[in-house]
Amino acid sequence: MENKVILITGASSGIGLSTAIQLMNKGYRVYAASRSGGENSTSKNGGEIISTKMNVNSEEEIKKVLDEILEQNGHLDAVISNAGNGIAGSIEDTSIEEAKYQFETNFFGAVRVIQACLPIFRKQGYGKIIATSSVAAIVPIPFQAFYSASKAALLIFMQALDMETKPFGIQCSTILPGDTKTNFTSARKYTAASQSTESVYYEKMKKAVGKMEKDEQNGMPADAIGKAIVKQIVHKSMKAIVVPGFQYQAICWLFNRLPVKFRLKVVSMLY
pLDDT in tens, 166-203: 999 999 999 999 999 998 888 899 999 999 999 999 99
Q: How far apart are CA 271 and CA 219, in angstroms?
A: 16
Is the pLDDT assigned to residue 2 strictly greater than 60?
no
pLDDT number for residue 3: 77
Beta bridge partners of 104: none
Catalytic residue among 28, 31, 147, 201: 147
pLDDT tens per residue across span 202-230 = 999 999 999 999 999 999 999 999 999 99
Catalytic residue among 90, 151, 173, 248: 151
* Predicted local confidence at residue 190, as pLDDT: 95
Catalytic residue among 12, 51, 81, 150: 12
User: What total number of domains does the chain contain?
Assistant: 1
Residue 133 is among the residues annotated as catalytic for this protein: yes
Q: Give residue 265's domain range.
A: 5-270
Asked whether the beta carbons of 93 and 194 are under 8 A apart, the reply is yes
Classified as helix, coil or strand, 238 is: coil
Residues 6+ apart with CB under 8 A from 142: 208, 267, 268, 271
Is 236 considered catalytic here?
Answer: no
Domain at 123, CATH number: 3.40.50.720
